[in-house]
Structure 1
């Protein structure tokens, strides 16, 4: 039998060649083509039909991606801190920078603007004090007189005087910038575990807080952040904010209503200066380290703030590291309040930002859906929850995918292995966002789009993938239906201009 099969192989091969030469389709090849087309139609963007100009740009992108994937150094397989210079040289990245990306739906206030602007602009303002703590972190405070000891700070120094004494202004400023980001030359050595990188992550947030929560700074900071997003061809923002107590030089504290009015004023001024920017809304956040009663109070407050500022407040979320924090189920009494009170408070929960399968934290994905979350922040664990995947597709609950954040915070090292590859392959609703871009030495969305498109999506991801991800950012935003429709028209017009320019 073996010898017979061996004898038949050359004959069958000749027959197949003859059939192809005669124009007769091979049945197996035809079936394979059908399967491949069906599978491709299910991926993100698989149902979109590209016009001739889009197809031309898509072919060009495909060739560029083949070249980058075959290079000795493949950026998505490297830590972002090492890959960033390579990404900046990529022709794909340059195209993505020009591409209209729609909305940024998952960014935290404290990381909206780069550390360089904070250090070289904000810390040079009058009355800025600095303190170095026992654990080698830094705190800032604006004050009309030398501050009293507070937090871990026993001695505050006026930055203007300190710089004059040090002399090496460049070196000193660089050291301050290092305190405000996670960026380092050797991330693997510097951050050997999730615990270490998260500790450094939270210290950077605390360092920035004293600068950003000063009233005059917050106003400039928000405007600058919108400028950076607009420059990256982003047209709308949903910002996660704890509405930290904003303070003045004399130490007086503003309430959250004052801060929301400030945000409202900045958005009004920015959209007047940039008519193609659609605006921004806030998702009010509290830390998951709080007690149930404290979160109850926060939920009630968020309900009232949304009632008072319906165009500004989008909803509510819990933030902080999931693995060391309390689960969503722990706060079920607080999160059930809107339904019990008969009011609507949309939730936008961080859920599944973990690689600890089977834990209570891992179940946050199901808890988020149980409490009718509008979107899922990160959703790294979603791929291993088939029921949650099914429910989120049925309910049109998009995942806010933040590739660089997931890598830097050590959930995945090689982005080709990111579980969102499964979600992209089956067309699960996704949006791309950047989480804490300033802390990662990133900005806008282009870097995260690159990592998702080239790394997670692989060679299958194409121009239609990019187009659907951009459209999704408007579809799954909290904008009212009427504004969504007009935003989608605006985005399509921007997309057409982009295609025309590069076709």
Structure 2
């Protein structure tokens, strides 16, 4: 009717008839139709939010937590408007700054924000998806190596030019026959003899630019530089080649027992100080080489590596710093590129390690670039065989598969999501393409499968250009269980062992998330943590019960809930006076 009357006026006007258009009144914010529209709008938004994965958590927020959530929203909005929104200039377009920009460019500014201080202090629950050799910043690891007696470095060629530095292969090792002076020219000398071992202390001291220059060189070999991580026009395969090359030198860093022990203590300390109580680490496969203190040869006993890990976990938990650190479990991880014979051999080793360390090993996964590795459908014979062996040996080794870490829609990597659910994976690593599949979304929710989301990793490895393009909010909106992890922070630019940067990126990017949404993600990490071996029935039962009951999982969630309330009270005590006043003034 209204549309018809509008056209009617137009016809009269064009026909030249002498009718005057009479305009009556002005727009009225209190017009009943306007108020009805706003009421309907609010109902629609409220209905939409009932489908969110964090809806139940939000409904259970205490008054203090609700108030903290409101305060943090004010802080976030204030910083979005007055800190992040900076326009570039014709002379310097790189002055442009905005909330949610690419992480390598945003990272230098994050530490200056109040939101960062809040995220740093937040209890984060469990880190469920991280790869061992890429967890601790390499600057810290190299410092450990430099101060460990007898550590050596060798290079495949002199690193006297920029190209040579980029192309050289470096390895670390231990020697008992070191002297105070190197027996060869330094590795950055054109006279260096390739593959000659020299003391790391000498290499660092004599390197061009001194120890700082040496550390920069190691960083070049072990990290994806910011200028490369934003080159999205070069594609996924290119950045993966750069990324995977970093694992070569890092593997040799962790073969000497004194270094490994200091590595673990530093790693656990950093995680605990970032509010992380529990860690599940992808490792195994080719890992496990260990040279004992004062020796040079690798111990052939595959168990010694894991014995050291268990000892260092117990040692850290016994400290004051580690009193709230519940522990670590390992998800045995094989390269998805292995042929059938190699993979079967490694699976047998995994079965033996599980028998020898039943509490340490929690599950099984396949890693490396998913787009170029064997799809799960091709791996079905090995995976079916492995599951049959676990049943025959009465071992509990559930699957925690990487799946859908791709830009594809219908390619083999995308289709890994179907296989992962059919193989009853308990969690999905990345699941980046899951949001494209309505039926798989439904099945993921019905099977109580959590997606381990790694925002910064997905950005740096060129699945999205920045956090604003990440599918995390779509996953949450559809009701998919999710938790945040950091994947390979030492390589990918976080340059810290903890979760704070990934948590910050999420809350800073998405208006619908807020502190409450971040809290739900943290609590999810504990609901889907594999604290102990459980049957499929027990696993689902514990997820559904959450903090109810007396199980290990329930007790740990209860402890986190208490820490969450203390954290929310701290926010109110610390920031209410400034930001609630700010909120009131903006409303008036």
TM-score (norm 1): 0.91
8 Å CA contact retained: 1:315, 1:346: yes
Cα deviation, residue 312, structure 1: 0.9
How far is 1:233 from its partner? 0.8
Structure 1: gaps of 5 or more residues: 147-151
* CA distance, structure 2, for counterparts of residue 432 and residue 290 of structure 1: 29
Question: Which structure is richer in relative contact order (CA contacts within 8 A, separation 6 or more)?
Answer: 1
Provide the rounded CA distance (Å) in 2 between the counterparts of 1:85 and 1:189: 19
Cα distance in 1, alignment partners of residues 22 and 221 from structure 2:
71
Instruction: Report what 2:175 is aligned to.
Output: 143
| Residue 65 of structure 1, CA deviation | 2.2
Give the direction of change, closer, same or farther, for the CA distance of 1:215–1:195 in structure 2 (3 Å limit).
same
Q: 1:117 aligns with which of 121, 140, 161?
A: 140
Matched, 1:2 2:44: no
What is the rounded CA distance, in whole Å, between the counterparts of 1:214 and 1:75 in structure 2? 45
* Residue 164 of structure 1, CA deviation: 4.5
The answer to whether 1:399 aligns with 2:451 is: yes
Aligned partners of 1:331 and 1:210: how far apart in 2? 29
Contact 1:143 1:251 in 2 (8 A): no
Alignment of 1:58-69 (within 5 A): 58-69=69-80
Structure 2: how far apart are the matches of 1:67 and 1:314?
43
Aligned to 1:217, which of 259, 268, 277? 259
The residue aligned with 1:157 is: 198
Report deviation, 1:269: 0.8
1:52 counterpart = 2:94: no
Q: In the alignment, is the contact (CA less than 8 A) between 2:173 and 2:255 conserved in 1?
A: no
Contact (CA 8 Å) 1:292, 1:330: kept in 2 or not?
Answer: no
In the superposition, relative to structure 1, how do residues 40 and 164 fare at CA in structure 2: closer, same or farther (>3 Å)? closer
- For 1:278, the equivalent position in structure 2 comes to 326
CA gap of 1:501–1:145, structure 2 versus 1, over 3 A, is same
Q: Superposition pairs for residues 272-351 of structure 1, below 5 Å? A: 272-273=318-319, 274-341=322-389, 342=391, 343=394, 344-351=396-403
Counterpart position of 1:247: 291
1:425 to 471, 477, 494: 477
User: The residue matched to 1:318 in structure 2 has which SS?
Assistant: strand
Q: CA 1:161/1:11 → structure 2, altered by over 3 Å: closer, same or farther?
A: closer
Q: Deviations over 1:369-424 (max 9, x none)?
A: 11111110011111112222111111111000000000111111121111222102
Uncovered stretches (5+) of structure 2, i.e. residues with no partner: 11-20, 87-95, 158-166, 179-192, 533-541, 543-550, 573-588
Q: Could you tell me how far 1:311 is from its partner in structure 2?
A: 1.5
Distance change >3 Å, CA 157–CA 190, structure 1 → 2 = farther
Looking at structure 2, the residues matched to 8 and 327 of structure 1 have their Cα atoms a distance apart, in angstroms, of 70
Secondary structure of 1:144 counterpart: coil
- Does the alignment pair 1:174 with 2:183? no
> Which of 475, 478, 495 is matched with 2:530 structurally?
478
Which has the larger Rg? 2
**Contact conserved, 1:351 with 1:376, CA < 8 A, in 2?**
yes
Shift of 1:308: 2.9
Deviations 1:133-188 (A, max 9, x none): 35224222223358xxxxx9633322233344446222122212222222345643
Counterpart Cα distance in 2 of 1:447 and 1:258? 34
1:117 Cα shift? 0.8
On the 8 A contact 1:299/1:337 being kept in 2, the answer is no
Cα distance per residue 1:99-135 (max 9 Å; x no partner): 1000100111101211111122213422222222352
Match of 2:45 in 1: 36
* Structure 1 vs Structure 2 CA RMSD: 2.6
Alpha carbons 1:306, 1:315 under 8 Å: kept: no
TM-score (norm 2): 0.78
The total of aligned residue pairs comes to 492
The answer as to whether partners of 2:334 and 2:367 remain within 8 angstroms in 1 is yes
Aligned with residue 557 of structure 2, among 475, 479, 488: 488
CA gap of 1:463–1:166, structure 2 versus 1, over 3 A, is: closer
Question: Which residue is 1:97 aligned to?
Answer: 120
> Is the contact made by 2:429 and 2:452 (CA closer than 8 Å) also made in structure 1?
yes
CA distance in 1, matches of 2:9, 2:441: 46
Q: Structure 2 residue aligned with 1:448, among 463, 487, 502?
A: 502
SS of equivalent residue, structure 2 residue 530: coil
CA distance in 2, matches of 1:276, 1:189: 41
Of residues 41-50 and 226-235 in structure 1, the stretch that sits farther from structure 2 once superposed is 41-50
Residue in structure 2 matching 1:264, options 305, 310, 314: 310
1:190/1:125 Cα in 2 relative to 1: closer, same or farther (>3 Å)? farther
Q: Contact between 1:474 and 1:488, CA under 8 Å: does it hold in 2?
A: yes
CA distance in 2, matches of 1:410, 1:52: 41
Moved more, 489-498 or 286-295: 286-295
User: 2:274 aligned to 201, 219, 232, which one?
Assistant: 232
Q: Which position in structure 1 is the counterpart of 2:30?
A: 17
The farther-off stretch of 417-426 and 158-167 is 158-167
The answer on whether the counterparts of 1:114 and 1:441 sit within 8 Å (CA) in structure 2 is no
Q: Is the 8 A contact 1:46 1:464 kept in 2?
A: no
How far, CA to CA, are the matches of 1:155 and 1:190 in structure 2? 38
Partner of 2:190: none
